[in-house]
Amino acid sequence: MLPGPDHLIILPILIPFFAGALMLIYDERQRRAKLTISMISVLASLWAAVELLIRSKGSELTGNNDIGFYLLGDWAAPYGIILVIDRLSAMMLVLTGLLALPALTYASAAWARQGQHFHSMFQFLLMGLNGAFLTGDLFNLFVFFEVLLAASYGLLLHGGGQLRVRGGLHYIAINLTGSLLFLIGVSLVYGATGTLNMAQLSNLVPMLPEARRPLFHAGATIMGLAFLIKAGIWPLSFWLPTAYMAGAAPVAAIFAIMTKVGVYVIVRLSFLLFGPGAGASAGFGGEMVMLGGMATVTFGFIGVLASQGVGRMAAHLVLVSSGTVLASAGFVLSGQDPQILAASLYYMLASTLAISALFLLIEPMGREDGGIAALLALTADAYGLDEREEDRQPEVGLAIPGTLTVLGLAFFACVLVLAGLPPLAGFIGKLGILQGLLMQGEEVPRLAWIFVTLLIVSGFATLIGLVRVGIQTFWASEGDPPRVLALEIAPVMVVVGLLILMTVKADVTLRYMLDTADAVLQPSIYAEGVLGAPRAADEEAEVVIP
Amino acid sequence: MELVLSGAIGILAASGIWLLLRPRTFQVIVGLCLLSYAVNLFIFSMGRLTFGAPAIMPRGGFVNPASYADPLPQALVLTAIVISFATTALFLVVLIASRGLTGTDHVDGKEP
């Protein structure tokens, strides 16, 4: 039997898994073959993600929402493992694909040769990310988190060196502890409710006996702590700048989505479990997430102002971005306008892309004479790789003209998005959040005013910090401009192009986000959809009986 | 039984956290191991404590679920053990690399 269109849902997990496993067989010297397999895998996953996105938009009939399911091994819904795709997950899958493609292209220019098994680990990271976005139960979420973390440990150490090993040591220790917290939380939730299926939990929470509710809340809080560590909320974020700075450029670029995994899970679970319909638990944790998010934004922009290097600055921008989304989610969870959530999702998309592009720009910007060629020669010595003539070819031919102009323009676009200045996408997102916060009738709460102030001040601080770096690099630099390969600048240009596209097509994107926010705020759609998922065996039986 | 188990989990977790906060990498890794033992026992206890009850039910007929142990936490523990074993092994490699590169076993890569 040929696999039907239903199997599309599991493809974003299976494709990178098989690609990664296949590449383990190849020798480290067969770079071209590895690159081809990686590229095919990334493109195929992106295609599947886009297809799922289109499908999850549904039609008028289904209320502009179509939730897809995949029952593994055809076990009925709350008992077996289930993959669920809805608007939010589809959006995150597409974002992963859009970040993976430029990062991989950039890595193919030089970084992929700096150590072993880059491509395999990259694919396993994608598998973990896609799995975490697709899974429908808490324990599988843990498993996919571990897959993506294990791959990220390897990627962070990619390229070697003292700085990376030290940063990696802290990163691994923090994340192992985080995983243990996750396990404690999961088991508490299981002890209190007897299930780990997100949809069933969402149905059970309003009816939970009062004696068990504190236990459930404790479990959810401990679990939330693990996600918040990943999202980089203050004060659990001190590991983040060092780790992101230590990573190689393409690794940092794909890590831009790692904090967003934490944010995604927080958004998904808090609205499923503590949404408006959750009875006594409604809005639980909303205030904490809101305050924590605002503290993260504050910490982030102070860090941006205090940073000397652009690498540390970009790492603090990651914090500003995830803090903004977390605080917005907290506001919506505490019962404010859903438009805030829609705008913050849009902002998240734009800022993640921009940060990823910034990480890819940093390394060429700071490159000295000889740059990547010297670096390559060094590692070729260290690893004893035989550097054949043909591998060196592209370095001679394809350096781009007017390097500083191109780099400067791309940098400028990133600054505009991250500082939230018009005309690019960051502005639209921030404007939407501000509008949602301020346009809610008679009285605007004081916390909302504080958040408004923070958003504007953080944008301003970002502008100051990045413009300072821009002036140093592009105007006040002396000597020859750095040599940058076309292969390295092309991915950045693609990301900038995507940002411009997001701005031009803002109405389409924002409408998608609004519907997504609506769907997220109605957990019953998700829950009923999942629990009503028909088994293939039942369907076949129905066909036979008449 | 409850007292013994909760005491064991508590002591393991407390020693684990103490070691985790120590400045030497080897102490950190032993701390992580102890913590993961505590967490595994904790997951196990969340399926309620039963004596001498099998986790697998026979096929067909009426079964009284009360006379069987909850199989789900046992499966979860198994997965958690495998994963924490693998990640600890990986951490061990990084630890040795760090020791080799910096010449010290301090977590910050240099003596204070």
CATH number of the domain that residue B35 is part of:
1.10.287
The answer to whether A176 contacts B91, with C-beta atoms less than 8 Å apart, is yes
The answer to whether A176 contacts B32, with C-beta atoms less than 8 Å apart, is yes
pLDDT of A386 > 50? The answer is no
Q: What is the pLDDT of residue B68?
A: 82
Cβ-based contacts under 8 A for chains A and B: 87
In chain B, the residue whose alpha carbon lies closest to the alpha carbon of A157 is B94
Average pLDDT over residues A470-486: 72
Q: What is the pLDDT of residue A445?
A: 80
Average pLDDT taken over every residue of chain A: 82
pLDDT of A400 > 60? The answer is no
Listed range (A203-207, A388-392, B89-93) with the worst mean pLDDT: A388-392
Q: Band of the pLDDT at A184, cuts 50, 70, 90? A: very high
CA of B49 vs chain A CAs: smallest distance (Å): 12
Q: Which of A180, A222, A225 best probes binding to B when mutated, by most B CB atoms within 10 angstroms?
A: A180
pLDDT: which is higher, B92 or A405: B92
Average pLDDT over residues A69-94: 84
pLDDT of A228 > 50? The answer is yes
Rounded-to-integer distance, Cα A325 and Cα A475, Å: 34
Is A162 part of the contact surface with chain B (CB cutoff 8 Å)? yes
Q: Please report the beta strands in A14-121, taking only residues with DSSP state E, as ranges in sequence order.
A: 68-71, 82-85
CA of A524 vs chain B CAs: smallest distance (Å): 26
Q: What is the pLDDT of residue B35?
A: 93
Indicate whether B21 belongs to any domain. Answer: yes
Q: Above pLDDT 90, what percent of chain A? A: 20
Q: Which long-range contacts (CB under 8 A, 24 or more apart) does A392-395 make?
A: A394/A109, A394/A485, A394/A487, A395/A485
Q: Above pLDDT 70, what percent of chain A? A: 87
Q: Band of the pLDDT at A478, cuts 50, 70, 90? A: low
Is B33 part of the contact surface with chain A (CB cutoff 8 Å)? no
Which one, of A307, A342, A344, A306, lies nearest residue A325 by Cα?
A344
Average pLDDT over residues A80-86: 85
Q: Band of the pLDDT at A93, cuts 50, 70, 90? A: very high
Listed range (A64-73, A119-128, A192-201) with the worst mean pLDDT: A64-73
Residues 36-95 of B with CB under 8 A from A: 36, 39, 42-43, 46-47, 72-73, 76, 79-80, 83-84, 86-88, 90-91, 94-95
Is A382 part of the contact surface with chain B (CB cutoff 8 Å)? no
Q: Which of B6, B46, B72, B84 best probes binding to A when mutated, by most A CB atoms within 10 angstroms?
A: B46
Which one, of A523, A525, A513, A67, lies nearest residue A276 by Cα?
A523
CA of B3 vs chain A CAs: smallest distance (Å): 18
Indicate whether B85 belongs to any domain. Answer: yes
CA of A105 vs chain B CAs: smallest distance (Å): 28
pLDDT of A185 > 90? The answer is yes
Indicate whether B57 belongs to any domain. Answer: no
* Tally of structural domains, chain B: 1
Q: What is the pLDDT of residue A544?
A: 52
ipTM of model over 0.85: yes
Quick: pLDDT tens for A111-168. 777 777 888 889 999 999 999 999 988 888 999 999 999 999 888 888 777 788 888 8
Quick: pLDDT tens for B85-108. 888 888 898 888 888 888 888 888
Type of residue found at A285:
G
Indicate whether B8 belongs to any domain. Answer: yes
Structural domain boundaries, residue B77: 2-49+68-102
Nearest to B42 among A142, A179, A184 (CB): A184
Is A139 part of the contact surface with chain B (CB cutoff 8 Å)? yes
Q: What is the pLDDT of residue A323?
A: 92
Nearest to B91 among A139, A154, A172 (CB): A172
User: Residues in chain B, how many?
Assistant: 112
The answer to whether A173 contacts B28, with C-beta atoms less than 8 Å apart, is yes
Indicate whether B56 belongs to any domain. Answer: no
In chain B, the residue whose alpha carbon lies closest to the alpha carbon of A145 is B83
Q: What is the pLDDT of residue A380?
A: 46
pLDDT of A381 > 60? The answer is no
Residues A32, A34, A35, A36, Cα dihedral to 10°: 90
Q: Band of the pLDDT at A369, cuts 50, 70, 90? A: very low
Quick: pLDDT tens for A310-320. 888 888 999 99
pLDDT of B13 > 90? The answer is yes
The answer to whether A150 contacts B90, with C-beta atoms less than 8 Å apart, is yes
Q: What is the pLDDT of residue A368?
A: 53
In chain A, the residue whose alpha carbon lies closest to the alpha carbon of B91 is A172
Angle between helices B25-45 and B2-20 (to 10 degrees): 150
Indicate whether B111 belongs to any domain. Answer: no
Q: What is the pLDDT of residue A441?
A: 66
Q: Which tokens in the block code for residue A264? A: 């995604």
Indicate whether B59 belongs to any domain. Answer: no
Rounded-to-integer distance, Cα B71 and Cα A194, Å: 12
Q: What is the pLDDT of residue A123?
A: 92
Indicate whether B54 belongs to any domain. Answer: no
CA of A245 vs chain B CAs: smallest distance (Å): 16
Chain A hits for B107, Cβ within 8 Å? 169-170, 173
Which one, of A455, A416, A417, lies nearest residue A435 by Cα?
A455
Average pLDDT over residues A364-380: 52
